[in-house]
């Protein structure tokens, strides 16, 4: 054996110990922090998931943002403004969490506007009426809560901690949506019909937000083993249905699924199968608003170039002044 071989053996031994430490941290349900050693696959999976999550928050500002100038009252406008602004904040926390893994935010944004990274399929549907604003907040933010509450215990520290605050804000989003819908349901026949129409359009896409069925979700198992994810897509979807059915009854709207019924034996609701070919179409770029959403994000990024340049120039001036001050 040559000395070189011994060295490489020792190195791999070292790496093995790091890997054991990582596995042990996960097994003890403790957090992995950015300074810790982690397998490349874990880092890559997290960057992809967190980036997709961040992109979804930012693109998700568009469908509702379209209603800010047309909100029916100052109160509704203020609430909607606050909600859309929260989503921007969620995107920023998440891009920061991805940066702790070594990703570069500018690069992630470029990947989004080049169509090389995805965002949630749900934001590719249009918002033709103000009832859509309420239904998105009730169903889409509601589905996001089901997905994100378990992420507060995700194994990667910065992601888990970001989710705690995000989830608090998501509950406000869902509550204000529900309140808007219950106000409309107490209004005119036309308002009630508008709410029902929006529920009919958003119900199935909301169920698709949890991703493909477990049998078709090849990365889920590894993500669960790494405790990035805590529940499978189908488990989360079931939770969402069970949580939403009584709320729909209280509102007085019908969920558009003839197979939806309580199953006494399971103690859960049975429900129909979403059209998975539609999910596939929307994810691969052929949803009703994919082109428009990405084009708008690209335009916003290009229009904002001067802001980024000015901020960098300002930061450079400040740094130079600080250096001068320290030298003096
Ligand atoms: Fe959000
Ligand atoms: Fe939200």
Half-sphere exposure of 214 (CA within 13 A, CB side): 13
Tell me the two tokens of residue 155.
Answer: 């194994």
Dist. CA 111 → ligand 2 center (Å): 23
**Residue 326 in this model has a pLDDT that exceeds 90:** no
Question: How far is the centre of ligand 2, averaged over its atoms, from the C-alpha of 58 (Å)?
Answer: 11
The region of weakest confidence among 82-86, 173-177, 280-284 is 280-284
Question: What spacing in Å lies between the alpha carbon of 133 and ligand 1's midpoint?
Answer: 14
Residue 92 has pLDDT above 90, yes or no: yes
77, 242, 281 from 127: Cα distances, Å: 16, 26, 19
Q: Which ligand is nearest to the CA of 177?
A: 2
Is the CB of residue 208 less than 8 Å from the CB of residue 121?
A: yes
> Residues of the chain with pLDDT > 90: what percent?
90
From residue 46, how far is each of 40, 41, 105 by CA, in Å?
10, 8, 14
Q: How far is the CA of 291 from the centre of ligand 1 (A)?
A: 22
- What are the tokens at 215? 């049998």
pLDDT band at 5 (very low <50, low <70, confident <90, very high): very low
Which ligand is located closest to the Cα atom of residue 88? 1
Provide the β-strand partners of residue 263: 268
What is the sign of the dihedral through the CA atoms of 277, 283, 286 and 287? positive
Residue 31 CB neighbours (<10 A): 17
Q: CA 310 to CA 306: how far, in whole Å?
A: 6
80 φ, ψ to 5°? -65, -40
Q: How confident is the model at residue 10 (pLDDT cuts 50, 70, 90)?
A: low
Span 194-204, mean pLDDT?
A: 98
* 254-296 pLDDT, tens digit each: 999 999 999 999 999 999 999 999 999 998 889 999 999 999 9
Close Cβ partners of 19 (under 8 Å, ≥ 6 residues apart)? 37, 39
- Nearest CA among 124, 130, 162, 120 for reference residue 66: 130
Pick the residue with more confidence: 256 or 9? Answer: 256
Output the average pLDDT for the chain: 94
Q: Are 138 and 320 in contact (CB under 8 A)?
A: no
Q: Is the pLDDT of residue 7 over 80?
A: no
Cα of 173 to ligand 2 centre, how many Å? 5
User: What residues does each domain of the chain span?
Assistant: 17-327
Q: Which ligand is nearest to the CA of 174?
A: 2
Q: Give the separation between CA 182 and CA 192, rounded to whole angstroms.
A: 9
Q: Evaluate whether 141 touches 177 at the Cβ level (below 8 Å).
A: yes
- How remote is the CA of residue 163 from the centroid of ligand 1, in Å? 10
Checking 265-271 for CB contacts under 8 A at 24+ apart, the result is 268/238, 268/241, 268/242, 269/238, 269/241, 269/242, 269/245, 271/207, 271/241
CA of 137 to the centre of ligand 2 (A): 7
Q: How many CA atoms lie within 13 A of 298 on its CB side?
A: 12
pLDDT tens sequence across 112-126: 999 999 999 999 999
CA of 262 from ligand 1 middle (Å) equals: 30
More confident: 10 or 6: 10
Q: Which spans in 34-150 are helix H?
A: 40-59, 61-65, 74-99, 105-113, 130-135, 141-148
Ion ligand 1: residues, Cβ under 5 Å: 57, 87, 90
Looking at the CA of 90, name the nearest ligand.
Answer: 1
**DSSP letter (8 states) at residue 68:** G
Q: Is the dihedral of CA 125, 182, 207, 221 positive or negative?
A: positive
Using CA atoms, how far residue 287 sits from 67, 86, 123, 201, 293, in Å, is: 21, 25, 9, 13, 10
pLDDT of residue 1: 42
> What are 318's two structure tokens?
């400040």
For domain 17-327, the CATH architecture is Up-down Bundle (1.20)
Can you give the pLDDT at residue 2? 42
141 C-alpha to center of ligand 2: Å? 5
Q: How far is the CA of 151 from the centre of ligand 1 (A)?
A: 13
Query: For position 219, what pLDDT does the model report?
Result: 82
Please tell me the distance between residue 213's alpha carbon and the centre of ligand 1 in angstroms.
24
**How many angstroms is it from 272 CA to the middle of ligand 2?**
26
What is the pLDDT, as a whole number, of residue 4? Answer: 46
What are the φ/ψ torsions at residue 229 (nearest 5 degrees)?
-100, 150
Task: Please tell me the distance between residue 113's alpha carbon and the centre of ligand 2 in angstroms.
Answer: 22
For residue 87, give the ligand nearest its CA.
1
Q: Tell me the CA–centroid distance for residue 140 and ligand 2, in Å.
A: 8
């Amino acid at each position: 054996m040559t000395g070189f071989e011994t060295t490489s053996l020792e190195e791999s031994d070292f790496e093995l110990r790091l890997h054991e430490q990582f596995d042990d941290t996960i097994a003890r349900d403790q957090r992995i922090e950015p300074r810790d050693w982690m397998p490349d696959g874990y880092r890559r999976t997290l960057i992809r998931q967190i980036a997709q999550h961040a992109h979804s928050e930012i693109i998700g500002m568009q469908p509702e943002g379209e209603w800010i100038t047309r909100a029916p009252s100052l109160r509704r406008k203020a609430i909607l403004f606050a909600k859309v602004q929260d989503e921007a904040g969620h995107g920023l926390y998440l891009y920061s969490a991805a940066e702790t893994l070594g990703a570069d935010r500018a690069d992630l944004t470029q990947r989004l506007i080049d169509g090389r990274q995805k965002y949630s399929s749900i934001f590719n549907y249009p918002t033709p009426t103000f009832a859509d604003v309420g239904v998105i907040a009730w169903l889409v933010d509601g589905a996001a809560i089901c997905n994100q509450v378990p992420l507060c215990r995700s194994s990667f520290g910065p992601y888990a901690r970001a989710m705690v605050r995000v989830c608090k804000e998501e509950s406000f989003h869902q509550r204000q949506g529900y309140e808007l819908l219950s106000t409309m349901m107490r209004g005119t026949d036309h308002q009630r019909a508008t709410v029902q129409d929006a529920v009919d359009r958003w119900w199935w896409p909301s169920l698709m937000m949890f991703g493909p069925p477990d049998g078709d979700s090849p990365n889920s198992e590894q993500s669960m083993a790494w405790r990035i994810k805590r529940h499978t897509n189908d488990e989360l979807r079931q939770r969402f249905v069970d949580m939403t059915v009584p709320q729909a009854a209280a509102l007085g709207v019908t969920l558009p699924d003839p197979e939806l019924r309580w199953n006494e034996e399971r103690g859960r609701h049975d429900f129909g199968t979403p059209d998975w070919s539609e999910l596939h179409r929307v994810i691969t770029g052929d949803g009703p608003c994919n082109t428009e959403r990405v084009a708008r994000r690209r335009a916003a990024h290009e229009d904002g170039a001067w802001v980024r340049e000015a901020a960098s120039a300002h930061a450079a001036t400040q740094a130079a002044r600080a250096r001068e001050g320290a030298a003096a």
